[in-house]
Copies of this chain bind each other. A is one copy, B any other.
Amino acid sequence: MSGSTFGELFRITNFGESHGPAIGCVIDGCPPGMPLSEADIQPDLDRRRPGTSRHVTQRNEPDAVEILSGVYEGHTTGTPICLVIRNTDQRSKDYGNILDTFRPGHADYTYWRKYGLRDPRGGGRSSARLTAPMVAAGAVAKKWLHAQHGTRFIAWMSQLGEINIPFEDESQIPLNPFFAPNAAVIPALEEHMDALRKAGDSCGARIEVRARGVPVGLGEPLFDKLDAEIAYAMMGINAVKGVEIGAGFGAVSQRGSEHGDELTPAGFRGNNSGGVLGGISTGQDLVVSIAIKPTSSIRLPRASIDRAGQPTVVETFGRHDPCVGIRAAPIAEAMLALVLMDHALRHRAQCGDVSLPLPPIAASAS
């Protein structure tokens, strides 16, 4: 109830702080009998981990995951899977100078007001480091969804600060540190980031996330609509300020005759819905876009107050991502996978196997 558990039937309970001994999660509700080992999880953690390019935080964390429970002889047992990631490169001293002040745009101030406490060690619980266990849990969900339904997840950066990144080639995404689907734009991105670092400033990003091979019929009709759950999951990622499904804000200026995707025996014409109608998946690709704000820990001096309410100036040193969006792609994939996994189990519970005279229509028609 304090917001450390995600999901209803595939439940992830997350624990830890950025600079404590360890972070991790407990997955409760994973179906039994699925082959699982650390090797299924580590690759996604490696995609998210810090220190892999000069454009992200230089904190050096291997983010090696250990399975503490729930797996026996290489298979899930149906009981809770505890995943632990030890923190190895905490340097709390980096944060000593911000102990008594509040970084503009950061959770420092609100945590203090809520709990009456400061945990200045790397942002404590509010650190984006806490997304690592979600990436790990997401890898488990991805494996099950792929095995059962052939579902696949992909995410990429479509905008970095003011630079638009046209989608060119999916195969480029893993080949550059920006998760950019476009080789030509990389030099501009690098130049942009180098300038930002020099200036001691930060910038935002826009990330696209897709799921392909989505079963039709997932999501609940009223409150736990699939798109509502996706919005919740995405807005819960650190620094996210906006979420769109399908046509998103563009739908405001569309006509109904343009927005509603026509149906044909060969599939839908278009995907303005983003794969969700009435809160329930259509079987088309899930199409999600999120806005990530600029990192709030920057070197440039900012006005603030201290804990006594007196005016002061904050300059944040330490090791921070100048654009937290750069590592957000695997996080967004994981959160989408966790939502789908939960709803796949929920659907199985309530509806079992609904048989209809017609197979789901194809995802899209030309």
Contact = CB atoms under 8 A, between A and B. Distances in A.
A78 B350 CA distance: 8
- The interface centre, meaning the residue of A16, A105, A204, A282 with most chain B CB atoms within 10 A of its CB, is A105
Interface string A203-229: 111100000000011111111110111
Interface string A270-302: 001110111111110000000111111010101
Nearest to A322: B256
Given A1-B8, A242-B249, A223 B162 contact: no
Nearest to A203: B255
A79 interface: yes
A151 interface: no
Interface residues of A, number: 161
Contacts of A203: 253-256
A3 interface: yes
B9 A28 contact: no
Given A82-B24, A115-B33, A309-B361, A294 B254 contact: yes
Contacts of A95: none
B292 A78 contact: no
B354 A72 contact: no
A46 to B, nearest CB: 23
A130 B216 CA distance: 23
Interface in A84-136: 84, 102-117, 119, 121, 124-126, 130
Contacts of A184: none
A263 to B, nearest CB: 5
Q: Which are the 10 A-B pairs with shortest beta-carbon distances?
A: A107-B278, A3-B220, A105-B260, A202-B256, A3-B224, A104-B260, A349-B349, A232-B232, A110-B280, A231-B235
